[in-house]
Every structure is written in structure tokens, then in C-alpha cells.
Amino acid sequence: MRKFIFGLRPADTITILFLLFLTVLTIIFYKNVPKAPSLIITYLILIISQAIILRFKTQGRFFSLFYDLVFPTICVLIVFDSLGRLVHYINPDDIDPLLIRLDYLIFNGHPTIMLERIASPLLTDILQLAYTTYYFIPITFGAIVLLKNQREEYNRTLFLILFCFYLSYLGYILMPALGPRFTISHLQNAKLQGLFIAGPIQKVLNQLEGIKRDAFPSGHTAIPLVVLYLAYRFKRRFFWIFLPIVSALIFSTVYCRYHYVIDIIGGFGLAILTILLGEIFYMWWLREQRET
């Protein structure tokens, strides 16, 4: 058993463990979760799929690519989508009032409302586009490392990114929050209007994301920061390419009214926690793997 466990990548292990955690959590709150059976089946299918992919990962380039890049992406998206059917039913107390108060104490106002002073259709288009880069930055960087055949660097990259995603999901379960676009929209003096891009992007994201109570901590801050850390270590040139994009992305989360500023602070904390704990776990895993 030990040989089998430490024969896995750390990324595979945390994925299986997190899926098992969600399965057990759903079973514990079975009576409260309206679609508990479908959630349990979803998580079990993902676990079984992970096991099947592990079995065939060396059977050609297609299976290898699916194992390295495609399945982790699918898993993250499916798990994130499932949170909309889980979080509110196991923890119905949103912490938005606390986050709103903290933002107000720091800025003596609501940041999303204060940013109306600089709002313009062109800026809204630019920042809404910057916001969407969140969905491509991790995959793009992972693909770059993978295409360079840097296997060890890729395994570490995949692990830390997945670890950050799962920690952020745990944060949504423990501290659910809707975000300012839902809670203080009535205080906004003007609707965000773009020229060409912002409106269609907002509609697509609203349909895809729905209401997930995923404001705190900000994954849109933490994940790109972890990618920046990895880029600085492994692909310094891409660090400088990503830096202005990530900076605009983080600013856009407040400007576009998806997050409170305190969410961003939480996102920075989450990124630091991911790197510190993740690197310790990863190095321990490698030591155990060598001794197995």
C-alpha cells in the first residue's frame, strides 16, 4: 500500500483526498443537501476516473496529455460547479456583513462604490477582459512547462495550483460570501457599462459561475499569485509577462464588483499559505517516495 500511495504524484493524491472529503461531507449533511445523491455520484465518478487515468497514463501521448492537463482542469471545474449545490446547505450563514464592515473600516467607504469615480466604458472593457485571464493563466503556464518537458517542474506546478484551488474551495465552505455585486448593488450609483466586450463576458460568466458563495478568500487573487511564484522559479521570462496581467486581474476583481478588498487580502494570505504548506508537503512527499 505504501509503495502504491507514494507511487502517485502529490497532485493525484490531494485530488483523491479532496474528493473523498467532499463525499464524506455530503454524506454527513445528506438530509440538508437537496441533491446529495447526484453530488456523491459525481465525486465518486471523479475518483474512479482518476484511478482509470492512472492505469492508462502511459498508453500513448493522448492519455499522457489527458492525465497531465485535461483531467485536472475538468476536475477543478466540476468540483467548483458542485459547490453551488453544497456550500449554502451545509453552512447557510454568509459572512458578507463582516466583510462589508471590514472594507468600510479600512477605506471609510465601499471600494466598489469609490471606484465609480474612475469608471469608464473603455476601462470596464479592459478590466473585464483582464478578469477572464484567471481562467487561462494556470492552464497556459502549465502547458508551457509541460511542452518544455520539464517533468519535475510541471509536477510541482500542478500540485501547488491544485492545492491552492482546493484550499480556496475549503475557504468557501467555511466562510461563504456572495460578494459586493449581490450584497451592495443597491448602493451603486451607476451600472458598469463597457463598449463592446464587458457585457457579453459578464453574461457568459454569470451563466457559467452562477451563485457559488465564492468571494472569500479570492481565488482570482491566490491562483495567479501562485502562478507568478512558479513562473519566477521556473520560467523567469514569463514572470515578467504575467506580472502586469495579474496586477490588472487583481484590480479588476474589485473594480468589476466581484470581490471586496478584504477578499483580495485573504487571497494574498491563501497564496502564501499554499506556497508554505505546499512546498513542505511536496518535499516531504519526495523524500518518502525516494525511500519507498
Q: How far apart are CA 64 and CA 58, in angstroms?
A: 6
Q: How far apart are the first and last CA of the chain?
A: 11
Contact indicator for 172, 212 with CB cutoff of 8 Å: yes
Give me the pLDDT at residue 123, please: 95
Give me the pLDDT at residue 5, please: 67
In degrees, to the nearest 5, what angle opens at C-alpha 179 toward C-alphas 46 and 18? 20
Contact indicator for 109, 182 with CB cutoff of 8 Å: no
Average pLDDT over residues 46-68: 87
Give me the pLDDT at residue 128, please: 95
Q: Is the pLDDT of residue 292 over 90?
A: no
> Which three cell numbers mark 152?
519535475
Give me the pLDDT at residue 202, please: 83
DSSP code string of 60-117 = SHHHHHIIIIIHHHHHHHHHHHHHTTTHHHH-----HHHHHHHHHHHHSS-HHHHGGG
178: confidence class by pLDDT, cuts 50, 70, 90: very high
Q: Quick check: pTM over 0.85?
A: yes
- Mean pLDDT, the chain, rounded, equals 92
Give me the pLDDT at residue 1, please: 60
Give me the pLDDT at residue 246, please: 97
Give residue-wise pLDDT tens across range 222-265.
999 999 999 999 999 999 999 999 999 999 999 999 999 999 99
Average pLDDT over residues 97-111: 96
Q: Is the pLDDT of residue 4 over 70?
A: no
Highest mean pLDDT: which of 186-195, 198-207, 265-274? Answer: 265-274
Pick the closest to residue 178 from 109, 103, 263, 255 (CA basis).
Answer: 263
**Domain limits for position 168:** 2-291
Q: How many CB atoms lie within 10 A of CB 46?
A: 22
Q: How far apart are CA 158 and CA 142, in angstroms?
A: 7
> Which three cell numbers mark 212?
457559488
Q: At what angle do helices 236-255 and 121-132 cross, to 10 degrees?
A: 130
| Proportion of the chain above pLDDT 90, given as a percent | 78
> Which three cell numbers mark 273?
499559505
Number of domains observed in the structure of the chain = 1
Average pLDDT over residues 142-150: 89
Q: Is the pLDDT of residue 48 over 70?
A: yes
Q: How far apart are CA 274 and CA 218, in angstroms?
A: 13
198: confidence class by pLDDT, cuts 50, 70, 90: confident
| Proportion of the chain above pLDDT 70, given as a percent | 97
